[in-house]
Amino acid sequence: MKRSLSYLIMAGALIGLATGPVAARVTDKDIENDAATPGDVVTNGLGTKNQRYSPSAKIDTKNVKDLVPAWTFSFGGEKQRGQQSQPLVHNGKMFVTGSYSRVFALDAKSGKKLWEYNHRLPEGILPCCDVINRGGALYDTLFIFGTLDGRLVALDQDTGKVVWNEKVGEYADGVSITNAPFIAKGLVITGMAGGEFGVVGNVSARDAKTGKLVWVRPTVEGHMGYKDGKENGISGTTNATWPGELWKTGSSTPWMGGAYDPETNLAYFGTGNPGPWNSHLRPGDNLFSCSTVAIDVDTGKIVWYFQHTPNDGWDYDSMNTIIAYTGKDGKKLVAKADKNGFFYVLDAKTGKFVRGFPFVKKITWASGLDENGRPKFIDSNRPGDPLKGDGKKGSSVFSAPSFLGGNNQQQFSYNPDTGLFYVPSTEWGMDIWNEPVGYKKGAAYLGAGFTIKKLDPKDIGGDYIGAMRAIDPVSGKVVWEVRDPAPLWGGALTTKGGLVFWGTPDGQLKAADAKSGKVLWSYQTGSGIIAPPISWEQDGEQYIAIVSGWGGAVPLWGGDIAKLTSGITQGGTTMVFKLHKSGK
């Protein structure tokens, strides 16, 4: 799994001159109000609660058919691979990241490049699942993003010059940052990746203006947290749910970023799989892996946690998008469509389980959830222990979903007008088996083998793999779905205009009626889409933007499914749409 990436060495330099409008400061108030202000997009998630809901209604179910390209921008070069970025828009500028830790500042109305930054990547970086980046954060006059060598970099919005550059973790150990950081109360808060290399996951917060570390909270039981350079309490209790010394390489990396609710003052993060994959080596629940954790932004301490897959044996990371919202009864809630195939609703203040239900058709590892949300395991579907066989390979089982999940990095959205969640879902399974493994710094730490496979159409009611699903969080019913022959790997956007936008692996950006699911418009972008759309208003017009460029985990680890998508053209393009004049 470890790959030589010497060809990634790039000139870490500023390219081009800034000629756009001078930066206006992005304040904490701007960030907290982002979900209600259609004139910009200053957060990843179109608001701190991650709802990916646009309050704009200039584009609606009646005129969406009149959407046409306003401009396109190519990232250029040979780095046309794995584009998962969500753009940000502020003060007439768009900021978008590209694969290989690049940043582009563009004129939001014309697409003209204002400046470009290429981060200098060292030889020997260890990205698990492609050289992707999911975007950045805006604060004051800075654009802040994470890099594949485990750093946070702050760039001046006007010039692209580096203002500060801080190390989050050691890239030689396997640490990388692919998630978009977010801002809460002047802090830039981020997770990190590297769970497949046995690094210890953590969430860290820095002063957004200076990069100075304020607090760090480990997401593996037994590790000490720090605040202002002083010890700030151990996460959990050492050895309570981890045997022996395995907690020291426990993984559980929060690699997808998080959400923040100013009303609870909590940052919500999903955590990744425990290490290694071979669960027979680590009996116990293995906290805080495969969990949702709520961290107090002021103290850096875990207020509550909910574990979705205790003693995970299938790589069911629970790092998926977390959405904070208010239920019909006025209760503050958080929701997650988990890798493991279940949709969860939790109390946002306490983490108490409210309800859960399957959102995919085939789940083999558990028969359901109990009254507390704990899975009812099907023991026969856990990959076998190698030590009970020939010592080289445990018994193989067929499990669904696959380790790439019923939902993975593809962000889902929530529309408060319909009360529905829009979840890019995938139906697939895998053959999986365990193998002996030991930890070696900078080497893959799996202890498992796998092959992803397509499901029998009879098991899921048709011949498809992906499905955009509208889910009622109260009844648990799928209100409507739009199926796709390939796995959906890009995020969703929903709008006040009654629409849902999403992209497909064959390059289509689609728009459907949020209530009925009827597809009303589509456009071919030229490459597979694995990124989420955004919307904003400028000079009286509403715009829709998407980054197009196939890559990510599916072509790397997708087994039989990767073969089905092998003909998809790679790319790297930002595309922006608006209504044709005749459609106004």
Q: Which residues are catalytic?
A: 315
The β-bridge partners of 176 are 193
Q: Which residue do the tokens 């998809």 mark? A: 568
Q: Is 65 helix (H, G, I), strand (E, B) or coil?
A: helix
Contact status, residue 385 vs residue 394, Cβ threshold 8 Å: yes
Q: 512 near 413, Cβ under 8 Å?
A: no
- What backbone phi and psi angles, to 5 degrees, belong to 196? -80, 0
Cβ-proximal residues to 383 (8 Å cutoff; 6+ apart), any chain:
278, 279, 313, 314, 394, 395, 396, 397, 399, 432, 433, 434, 448
Report whether 332 contacts 324 (CB < 8 A). yes
CA distance 304 to 347: 10
Q: 231 vs 167, 202, 205, CA distance in Å?
A: 20, 15, 15
Report helix, strand or coil for 459: helix
CB 547 within 8 A of CB 103: no
Between strands 342-347 and 413-415, the pairing is unpaired
DSSP-assigned letters across all residues of 384-443: PPGGGTTSS-PPPEEESS-TT-SS-SS--EEETTTTEEEEEEE--EEEEEE------TTS
CA–CA distance, 346 with 336 (Å, rounded to integer)? 9
Cα(499)–Cα(513) distance, integer angstroms = 5
Query: If residue 28 lies in a helix (H) or strand (E), which one and from where to where?
Result: helix 28-32
* Residue in the block written with tokens 């990371």: 317
Structure tokens at 29: 């108030």
Which residue from 266, 257, 31, 262 is spatially nearest to 140, judged by alpha carbons? 31
Across 235-365, the runs of DSSP E, i.e. the strands, are: 258-261, 266-270, 291-296, 302-307, 323-326, 332-337, 342-347, 353-358
Tokens standing for residue 438: 């030991």
